[in-house]
Amino acid sequence: MDFGRISRRHLLQGGAALTLGSALGARSAYAADTTIGFIYVGSRDDYGYNQAHAQGAAALKKIPGIKVVEEEKVPETDAVEKTMESMINLDGASLLFPTSFGYFNPHMIKMANKYPKVRFEHCGGLWTEKDPKNAGSYFGYIDEAQYISGIVAGYTSKTGKLGFVAAKPIPQVLRNINAFTLGAKLANPKATTQVIFTGDWSMPVKEAEATNSLIDQGVDVLTCHVDGPKTMVENAAHRGAMVCGYHVNQSPLAPKAYLTGAEWNWEALYPKFVKLMTSGEGIPNFYRGGFKEEIIKVSPYGEAVSAEARKHADDVKAKLTEGSYTIFKGPILDNKGKTIIAAGTDRGQKDPELEKMDYLVEGVIGATS
């Protein structure tokens, strides 16, 4: 059996490579075993949610002594538990970023209990005191960036009709729709946002249909909250509408139509996490922030954005960055006419009430159920 001999030889080669690898690692700036694992639910070049995390991972790869291992399209089942274990057992990972929402409970919590020496950092989950101490969750107030997109969209739209392609009517999505609409109304008090929910995070066909249907109804600026904005951006640009991006910078997909976009800034946050971990200080179990904490950013303005829009947007962004501005500031009515935030009440970014958002503000055309 020739086959057997070959695999044995390869086993030896593999073993040698492994030893060599760890020997090299020992000489570098960080401890020999700083291997960091990234797990994505979709493909890492989706121009969206997963790519944003992959960009963060790419920033870590540049740090000497850090090895990054990645796995994409891992479903939110026990497959992700096995992926985490495999990264721990076979790659020696000591910090893991399971980046999809559905990985948190029960999968990541289970693995954190099983491997108390490994650090687990989850994007979007709500870590509480009863969860393991070696686990943590982080997220960004990306509605701040959506607010800026809204201002730019409000100035740019000729019809005053904006469109929003959204996945599901859950708090994180509703917050973005509402912030975008409130921003747009700063620029044009009569602006409306028509929202279409596709029902799931990655539904390219429905996203394309929603985009077309919005444009057919007179919408001329669109944005979205789905995992991969590529479909919406390309279709809208093709139809001659303007777009605001989401998750990452999609301007290469539509250079003329791209106004700005709400982006994650994981490439700034992840090296910060690694520094906290290696300095012995430790990563906080619960980490949240916006512009100020550099967790989010906006894409550079496209050429179609007027000077007036740029100035207004930059002003608000500066205030948000210094922390002197509140987006959800009363009085705010929902789109059925009910007061949800009374006059005089400021709901700051960290207000837990905002995490439970279940309404659409006045100016949004659509329903949560």
Partner 1 sequence: MTSEVADPVEASEIAPAADPGFLQRHGGTIEYILIPGAALVGALGVFGVFVALFGKNPLDLYFYMYQGAYGTWFSWQNTLTRAAPLILTALCTALPAQLGMVIIGGEGALLVGALSATAVALSMQWAPPLAVQLGMAAAGMIGGGLWIMLAGALRQYRGVNETISSLLLVYIALAILNHLVEGVMRDPSSLNKPSTRSIGAANMLGSIPGTDVHWGLVYGILAATASYILIYHTTFGFAARVAGGNIRAAKIVGLAVGKLILTICFLAGAAAGLAGMVEVAAVQGQTNANLAAGYGFTGILVAFLARQNPLAVIPVAILLGGISASGGLLQRRLGLPDASVQVLQGIIFVFVLASDALYGRIGFLKARS
- CA angle in degrees (0–180, nearest 5) for 301-304-306: 80
Q: For partner 1, which is the closer residue by CB, 220 or 227?
A: 227
> What CA–CA distance (Å, rounded) separates 369 from 365?
13
C-beta separation of 215 from 224 below 8 A: no
Q: For partner 1, which is the closer residue by CB, 170 or 304?
A: 170
CB of 83 to partner 1, least distance (A): 5
CB of 173 to partner 1, least distance (A): 8
318-327: long-range pairs with CB below 8 Å, 24+: 320/144, 320/147, 320/148, 320/290, 320/291, 320/292, 321/291, 321/292, 322/292, 323/292, 327/143, 327/144, 327/147, 327/179, 327/182, 327/183
CB of 38 to partner 1, least distance (A): 10
> What CA–CA distance (Å, rounded) separates 348 from 329?
8
Q: For partner 1, which is the closer residue by CB, 151 or 196?
A: 196
Q: Which residue, 136, 199, 179, 137, is CA-closest to 354?
A: 179
**Residues facing 243 on adjacent strands:** 222, 258
- Residue 232's H or E segment, with its range, is helix 230-238
CB of 106 to partner 1, least distance (A): 5
Q: For partner 1, which is the closer residue by CB, 113 or 217?
A: 113
Q: For partner 1, which is the closer residue by CB, 124 or 330?
A: 124
Q: For partner 1, which is the closer residue by CB, 76 or 294?
A: 76
Chain residues in the site for partner 1 (CB under 8 A): 6-7, 10-11, 14, 43, 69-79, 82-83, 85-87, 89-91, 101-102, 106, 124, 126, 168, 170-172, 199-200, 355-356, 369
CB of 126 to partner 1, least distance (A): 8
**What are the φ and ψ backbone dihedral angles of 188, each rounded to 5 degrees?**
-145, 100
Q: For partner 1, which is the closer residue by CB, 28 or 86?
A: 86
CB of 352 to partner 1, least distance (A): 11
CB of 72 to partner 1, least distance (A): 5
- CA angle in degrees (0–180, nearest 5) for 234-227-167: 95
